[in-house]
Structure 1
């Protein structure tokens, strides 16, 4: 065991012993609070009865002459001799006028005010000391603040026994009180040294602590029989002088810092101003209401046990803010406390006035002032804490508002991950429909060309929405349309069906939807720019043939296509490893359940579910193949294309005729990248025909002749004007055409297309075999 642990163990043993000793004294003897002195006739007379003591309750009065204490003459009693007070006494005899009275203190319960306050202050101080030490042990200033709390905790620990004039407790209390302001001072110096370039010498502190240590040694002499009240009085006034000197040194340090940083408006100056206020509030009551009046006038202006509680204000505030990492918000918190106190003044005055006129017309001014102060403090605390408790209990008190805010946070966080328009449905629309409890919703994007793009969720008729946008017929509609973003190139709207409860949205839901729309407007603008930039990149990739472009263009095209393939492969892998596997396990469990079913109707229903799952599985498998055509490596280009054509023919309502001519071995001898580009070109031709051509027949011919591969494509669809600007508008299908051109040019090929409105499309692609394919 190292020396540090040994000292810690000894320290805790000492704390436990001191706690036991003080509790024994405090609960063995009641707090009498009898102050005595000798009159000119050398008689011991009661001069004062301390507040919150039980001396007056027992029956003692000022000017009573003390005849004996526990059967002894007064001057022979320990507490009278050393402190001019009567404590730790069981039987006291007094002379009142010509009548001799005997009082037994054991028959009276002790005054709990001082003891309860002391125990409460001790617990608060020790808890803060432990929390700061355990959480912020790496900070020297925090450790010093923990020592401040420990000092205050020990003062409160000894306070109960000290009021009973126990020599050990009284000596500990006076020494700790003298040390307290200097611990504050050292904490402030360390604190500002850690947070700025402030340098302040602390060499003198060792002399201060040495002087306080010497004073503590003098306290031990009170155990000697010869020590009396005159000696204690010197120690007592010395303690108060130390405290006031330490307080003045704190003020001097803060005044120096204030002067140094007053021309700056940074957080450090704000902290300095706040510390001045807090420190004044902590030390001024004890200094100006107790110690200074006691030195100058031998009396106190306020009860020291109450004013001493203000000492906790500064360290508790600082400790809480340091642990909660809100130190730089200290001035904001104090400003809030101040204004909540100001707001509480009028209600407090009204409550006290109502109470006076209705219930307590005979109340004294003192009672009304105490009532007003207490009411204002309570109202200030309640008003200040209202926001905190309302936030903590929001889920219970305002459940609708709470869930709306949680949904808002979720959507705001997820919007950053959106990369295309279709993701808006899963990230935004699903939550809007679910939270607002509407039948369905849609985000409609109307481009300048008149084209509509609709992203819907729930029970909403896209064709009906499209018709209403084209005709402008929104009267007597079951839908509500809200503008999201107006732009010169597009306009976006949020369309929602009616609520399932057939009610209107309340104010909270309307505000929530307004915030969602503001987020959507920014997100849609970003998505539009991404799509526009992507189209520009594709156009750039298809503009210059390789022989006319530089190496940078070749590298650019290759990088774009590689990134696309990687992303498609990633998505296909995710679908295969997650969704398809989940479907497989569900199918297996349902098949096991099917074997156990005897009811024919349930058996048939379960079979329908399994068939539907199998259909979903097939569609997912086809999606994976389209994203990642793994058959290219397994069976070659021609058979992979034939598989693609067969699948699309079975799913679509059009006929696809696929023909190969020439030496297919020439095609299969192409490197994998070239075959993948050819596959993607033909795949894109079929996809565009499926989406836009409205054709009933597609013809695709793949020919290998001489030194080139030729792709010939025809359809009998509606066609379009190839040179029209609408074909390249964001939101239309021009991006697929640019992709095909870019791939062909990347293979050093030629791309030609002929089309007229109403006459279908014809595409001819020629790709050389002997020339090197860019890699």
Structure 2
């Protein structure tokens, strides 16, 4: 079945290519004569009509056609079948008793052929684009087939006008299929996007009519049955107009039905309705209906047919760019672009008319105006898109600043202490602006706090801030930030590394960063302030209440962790399990292609990765193995698992710890959390090459020794006012150690690593 499908597709592609080669050869090998003949008496043929797009102006109405390419006129197939001169290299005519031979081979391709070729290329490109990008959408496939029908029309147009039977059969059949496929597309589209069930029964009758008409046109190949052609033109144009009217009626009914409902679909229906009118009314009202009623069109279909492309191209663009539900906004942008383009296009068209007024006809002027308006409007509409795409090359500095702004604004959400300001914000500011250094200054009533990055003299900054000449300093740029009763803050930036001052564009960017930073800093300051008050309250709290408070806090934390872990296991992980089973069953279908099977297998592997990550998160939230295999084995497995993702060498050693293993689950959970927090801090802040854990028991005490050779930090005494504090992690660990009656010792210096020594009395350990 799969091989048969591939063979069918390949056969269709080959057939299309052959038709394209054939039609292109006919179109450019033979000029378009545009000569219609009539036979006032048997054996005599007289020129009765000349199309305005013909390539030769030596023919006149009333000329008697004697021979075409050396053959008597009544023996030429196109004359016998269609009463027109089709493919011709030379013509012999009689005019005023004189015989004239006209060479048609010197004629160049007209604008008629060029426009047809452009329209065919556009339709074919949109068809391929939809089939490649949106192949799984039934509505997109139908829209692609409508483009294919339009491609066939423009492709066979040249051959049809030259009297080729196959060309006339293809163009008439494609014109009947095109509006049917359009209507089918709309029905399926509104079912996909709005769950609207519209009647489909009539499609089988429409397609049947198109098929019967196609079979009837096979009589074109028999000159004796050529009379069918005389009625076919009117029938085809009438059928096209009727089915397009059904499209318009369908959209009008849908709009009336849901016009009072506030839904994105309402805007889609309204915009589709108007675009359909703009696309098809000109060709129906200015070309088809005048030809049916008075025998002459007001405007050549080659021009009005170009408007037909507006509707499908706009829809294809909206589907392919995922902007379908923004169609109202897109339409407003198009109208606004056209309004802006009208004035320069009028001036341009007027200048062309003034310069070439003796060579231009009214149709050519209209074409220049419409083409220029379309081109300028498209450029204006796409200006934002191309500016965004080319911004790294056209405005490289602006692009760098915008990217840095996105990164810094995203990182602001992860700031939890003033220490993070240096690592997350100041480093990016210094690197982006290419300055020597930057600092954030907090000025309290009787104190200064300075966070600096790069080459910054903190003593000099403190002195300058204390003076009134802060704004006039030639080396630093000062930007005010938070200002309240308790403190004032400033962002200070040095000169650039090229020893120049910060330019205006970068200064505006810096002020924008400052506006974001103010909010984050105020929140962090409030957190630190509340934390300090909480610590003061704890220091004055009786021992019994303090123990009770710690116990309640830890119990609430563990309960919440267990709840989250349970929810993840019972909902998300179960959904992933069923998703994996579904993907596996799909990948095992024998009719599935190799590429699709590989994609499904890759998706399956990705689901496994997500599942493994969630399983690890559940374990960290709720270390259930403590109850099953004990503290030592759980910690060993946890550390081994983490060692694969850490940037340092991680070692874990646990000697005989039988006594602590005999304690309750709550105590072992506290110890697991302490090790977990130590490891998390090491990954975030230590910048170490080696990290080690050592656990042992001795003389009724349980010991934990943590060491790293990282950057260390400066421990300050005043926790409430420190700016580069040890973080919530150390406070968290201290609280847990105190809760189990232990002692927490910290040894660290800047650049000398960190050593944490924890002692827990086994016999006196408190039960949570």
State the alpha-carbon separation in 2 of the partners of residues 628 and 68 from structure 1: 99
State the alpha-carbon separation in 2 of the partners of residues 288 and 346 from structure 1: 28
CA contact (8 A) 2:411 2:424 kept: yes
The equivalent position to 1:669 in structure 2, one of 700, 715, 721, is 700
Task: Say whether residues 1:633 and 2:692 are aligned partners.
Answer: no
State the alpha-carbon separation in 2 of the partners of residues 34 and 739 from structure 1: 95
Query: How many angstroms does 1:292 deviate by?
Result: 0.6
Query: How many angstroms does 1:48 deviate by?
Result: 2.2
Query: How many angstroms does 1:627 deviate by?
Result: 13
- Summarize deviations over 1:685-707 as a string: whole Å, max 9, x none: x999x6459xxxxxxxxxxxxxx
Query: How many angstroms does 1:220 deviate by?
Result: 0.4
Task: Say whether residues 1:346 and 2:343 are aligned partners.
Answer: yes
State the alpha-carbon separation in 2 of the partners of residues 43 and 339 from structure 1: 59
Q: Which residue of 1 aligns with 2:428?
A: 431
Q: Which residue of 1 aligns with 2:209?
A: 211
State the alpha-carbon separation in 2 of the partners of residues 246 and 510 from structure 1: 62
Q: Which residue of 2 aligns with 1:305?
A: 302
CA contact (8 A) 1:36 1:47 kept: yes
- TM-score normalised by structure 1 residue count: 0.73
Query: How many angstroms does 1:381 deviate by?
Result: 3.0
Q: For structure 2, which runs of at least 5 residues remain unmatched after alignment?
A: 562-619, 622-634, 651-681, 745-758
Equivalence map 1:15-94=2 (5 Å): 15-39=16-40, 43-56=44-57, 59-94=58-93
- Summarize deviations over 1:384-432 as a string: whole Å, max 9, x none: 3333333232223222212211222222233333333222223221222
State the alpha-carbon separation in 2 of the partners of residues 151 and 114 from structure 1: 19
The equivalent position to 1:746 in structure 2, one of 717, 729, 739, is 739
Report the 3-state secondary structure (helix = DSSP H, G, I; strand = E; otherwise coil) of the residue aligned with 1:495: strand
CA contact (8 A) 2:434 2:496 kept: yes
Query: How many angstroms does 1:547 deviate by?
Result: 4.1
- Summarize deviations over 1:692-736 as a string: whole Å, max 9, x none: 59xxxxxxxxxxxxxxxxxxxxxxxxxxxxxxxxx7468598999
Query: How many angstroms does 1:25 deviate by?
Result: 2.9
State the alpha-carbon separation in 2 of the partners of residues 82 and 412 from structure 1: 75
Query: How many angstroms does 1:24 deviate by?
Result: 3.9
State the alpha-carbon separation in 1 of the partners of residues 540 and 694 from structure 2: 28
CA contact (8 A) 2:67 2:92 kept: yes
The equivalent position to 2:377 in structure 1, one of 380, 385, 407, is 380
User: What is the aligned length?
Assistant: 637
Equivalence map 1:523-672=2 (5 Å): 523-532=520-529, 534-535=531-532, 547-548=544-545, 553-554=550-551, 556-557=553-554, 578=647, 633=695, 668-672=699-703
Q: For structure 1, which runs of at least 5 residues remain unmatched after alignment?
A: 582-619, 637-664, 680-685, 694-726, 752-765
CA contact (8 A) 1:132 1:319 kept: yes
CA contact (8 A) 1:542 1:742 kept: no
Query: How many angstroms does 1:575 deviate by?
Result: 14
State the alpha-carbon separation in 2 of the partners of residues 171 and 734 from structure 1: 84
- Summarize deviations over 1:290-321 as a string: whole Å, max 9, x none: 11111101111112122222222211111122
1:74 and 1:371, CA in 2 relative to 1: closer, same or farther beyond 3 A? same
CA contact (8 A) 1:158 1:170 kept: yes
- Summarize deviations over 1:193-223 as a string: whole Å, max 9, x none: 1111312111011011111111111100111
Q: Which residue of 1 aligns with 2:187?
A: 189
Query: How many angstroms does 1:152 deviate by?
Result: 1.3
- Summarize deviations over 1:139-165 as a string: whole Å, max 9, x none: 111111111111112222212211111
State the alpha-carbon separation in 1 of the partners of residues 688 and 369 from structure 2: 79
State the alpha-carbon separation in 1 of the partners of residues 32 and 379 from structure 2: 35
Q: Which residue of 2 aligns with 1:245?
A: 242
Query: How many angstroms does 1:513 deviate by?
Result: 1.2
Q: Which residue of 1 aligns with 2:291?
A: 294
State the alpha-carbon separation in 1 of the partners of residues 229 and 205 from structure 2: 23
- Summarize deviations over 1:47-78 as a string: whole Å, max 9, x none: 2222332232xx21122122333444434322
Q: Which residue of 2 aligns with 1:101?
A: 100
State the alpha-carbon separation in 2 of the partners of residues 481 and 549 from structure 1: 45
State the alpha-carbon separation in 1 of the partners of residues 453 and 648 from structure 2: 21
Query: How many angstroms does 1:482 deviate by?
Result: 1.0
RMSD (CA atoms): 4.0
Query: How many angstroms does 1:288 deviate by?
Result: 1.2
State the alpha-carbon separation in 2 of the partners of residues 730 and 130 from structure 1: 65
State the alpha-carbon separation in 2 of the partners of residues 176 and 625 from structure 1: 70
State the alpha-carbon separation in 1 of the partners of residues 762 and 414 from structure 2: 42
Task: Say whether residues 1:233 and 2:264 are aligned partners.
Answer: no
Range moving further from structure 2, 262-271 or 389-398: 389-398
Query: Which structure has the larger Rg?
Result: 1
Query: How many angstroms does 1:749 deviate by?
Result: 8.6
1:196 and 1:102, CA in 2 relative to 1: closer, same or farther beyond 3 A? same
The equivalent position to 1:772 in structure 2, one of 759, 765, 768, is 765
1:306 and 1:372, CA in 2 relative to 1: closer, same or farther beyond 3 A? closer
Task: Say whether residues 1:452 and 2:445 are aligned partners.
Answer: no
